[in-house]
Structure 1
Amino acid sequence: MVGAKAAKLAMAETERSAEALDPAADNNYIAALARGLAVMRSFAGQRNQLTMAEIAKLVSLPRATVRRCLITLSALGYIDSNGKYYRLTPQVLTLSQSYFSSNPLPRVAQPYIEQVSEAVGESCSVSVLTGDEVIYVARSTRKRAASVHRDVGQNLPAFCTSMGRVLLAHMEPEALDAYFKRVTLKKFTHETVTDEATLRGLLDQVRRREFCLIDGELEHNLRAVAVPVRDQSGKVVAAAHISTEASRTPKEKMRNEFLPVLRSAVSQMRPLLLG
């Protein structure tokens, strides 16, 4: 079950990568670069090795195009092959390391979310908005925390996650309008809110309350609470959240016990995040 859910999320991520290959919006768009990145992203989730045909299907590109991408990525050291199957190499880690070494947010956040996780006994994460999704940039886990494993670097939809709604709630109105025009509000569970007007109302509520509590919208039995992370200037630069299983953690406990701990942690981060 866990593998199937992870694979489903990974497939959705790859589909979004393929959809992003249209260069029509900008004459400066380098389609070849986008295709190469889409090929790399096709290995998301539990797809640790793929054939050329499988990659071509995942990214919706001709096999000849995929072949050229694979040859280039292999020459650069990012992909290896045994003749039939292709896999990513450890060289890809240098790309993420460039981000982590140049951005203070993960480094600042990590000790604080570890304290939160220790205090409440649940997983705690910090995420940022990238494109139309949220991506984990720091995480402290507990084995019992959720039925789907999350890692730093994983992307999730913004509209149906607590940290995503926190970040969407603090978007400029024009940017939020553009977001709703682009995204498909997909139903992940029977609880997922997919009506735009309803979502906008929920985002207004999140903006006023300065937190978001979501129950079972991305995954059944997954409950999460999130708050904005602000830099010294007051700008929202990320969201911090605690996730748990709804069957063992009532909403009242999330609000009355988890939320104050989370808010305390982000308030301590703020002076350390330069605006």
Structure 2
Amino acid sequence: MAHLPEDREAGTESTASPGPRATTRIVQVLRILADHPQGATLTELADLSATPKTSLLALLRALTHAHYLTHNGGKYALGVEAFKLGAAIVAQRRFPEIARPVMERLALEAGETILIGQLASDRPSMVYVMSAESRNAIRFIAGIGERRELFSSSGGRVLLAAMSEAQQTEYFRTAELRAHTPATRTQKRELKALLKEVAETGVAATVEQSSADVVGFAAPIRDESGTVIAALVMGTPVSRGVPGMERFKTLIARGAAEVSALLGYAGPTTLTFSKQSG
């Protein structure tokens, strides 16, 4: 009796349906083939997935029948349905929605309100586009669409620090550096020194700069190219923000790094901070 090759296609045979335990194997096979664009044989897939060939073959046939895989020249590769699935997943990874799970977890861990701020399109300022509120009775609250000045808010300073020297010069030439509280810093030389520190450390901290009794922390969110596209911001009352200064700096920096990684950024993250704030 002639024997079929071990990874020959089923042809006109009925396609076997994988059992419940095959669920994780499906994901595993797709992941392996995503890393092997040239394709892989049944033997190679069995070795890479640590799965018996007899169990794997039925799964591969089912996936091929459904067009999640192709089978040519003895090798399996990703098929059109797999690429459609990948495209659908990528389409869901939109910013800022992709950051929501990180923000909600960080809000619980820190016990403080977490927001995302981006540059406004009409004038040099920061606008909040997403928030995850603290559950504390006394907490920082900011509505979606609310603005903050770049020079006085923690998130604004992160966005300002990411600008080119020419852009910063133009900003300070035209911006109205108006004090919002008695503590607001409005001297250009002092602000430029603070921005340099933000650029070096990767985090900004402000104490009662935009609002009385509010401490702000922020770190840059970067896209795949490393470009700063937003700031992850934490707002706290002074009573918690000042004593927890170093802890909150670390938390916001790590949170921003996690969101950046979700967006494809793989560069370095700075987690060494100075004591300066304001």
Using structure 2 for the length normalisation, give the TM-score: 0.58
In structure 1, stretches of 5+ residues that fail to align are 1-100
The alignment status of 1:116 with 2:128, answered yes or no, reads no
Total equivalences in the alignment: 173
Q: Could you give the per-residue CA deviations for residues 91-131 of structure 1, whole angstroms, max 9, x where no partner exists?
A: xxxxxxxxxx9992211111111110010111011111123
1:11-50 alignment to 2 at 5 Å? none
CA drift at 1:247? 2.0
What residue ranges of structure 2 are gaps of 5+ in the alignment? 1-90, 266-278
CA drift of 1:181 comes to 1.5
For 2:245, the equivalent position in structure 1 comes to: 254
Q: Write the distance in 2 (CA, Å) between the matches of 1:200 and 1:185.
A: 13
Change (3 A) 1:268 1:114: same
Structure 2 match to 1:141: 133
2:109 is aligned with 1:107: no
Structure 2 counterpart of 1:272, which letter? L
* Cα distance between partner residues in 2 of 1:163 and 1:225: 7
| Shift in alpha-carbon separation, 1:263–1:273, aligned structure 2, 3 A | same
Check conservation: 2:112, 2:139, Cα contact below 8 A. Answer: no
Structure-2 change in CA distance of 1:184 and 1:102 (3 Å):
farther
Indicate conservation of the 8 Å contact 1:222/1:244, yes or no: yes
**2:149 is equivalent to residue 185 of structure 1:** no
> Which of these residues, 157, 167, 173, is aligned with residue 175 of structure 1?
167
Change over 3 Å in CA distance of 1:182–1:103 after alignment to 2: farther
TM-score (ref. length: structure 1): 0.58
Change (3 A) 1:119 1:102: closer
How far 1:144 moved relative to its partner?
4.0
Q: Describe the SS at the equivalent of 2:117.
A: strand
SS in 1 for 2:178: coil
For 2:117, which of 108, 120, 127 is the aligned residue?
Answer: 127
For residue 69 of structure 2, what is the aligned residue in structure 1?
none
After superposing on structure 2, the runs of 4+ consecutive aligned residues of structure 1 that deviate more than 3 Å are 143-149
Does residue 157 of structure 2 align to residue 165 of structure 1?
yes
Mean Cα deviation higher: 158-167 or 137-146: 137-146
Give secondary structure in 1 for the equivalent of 2:184. Answer: coil
Which is richer in helix?
Answer: 1
Taking a change above 3 Å as real, the CA distance of residues 179 and 145 of structure 1, as seen in their structure-2 partners, is farther
Q: CA deviation at 1:132?
A: 1.1
Letter in 2 for 1:230: R
C-alpha spacing 1:102/1:164, structure 2 compared with 1 (3 Å): farther
Match runs of 1:193-212 below 5 Å:
193-212=185-204
Q: Which residue of 2 aligns with 1:232?
A: 224
Paired position in structure 1 for 2:235: 243
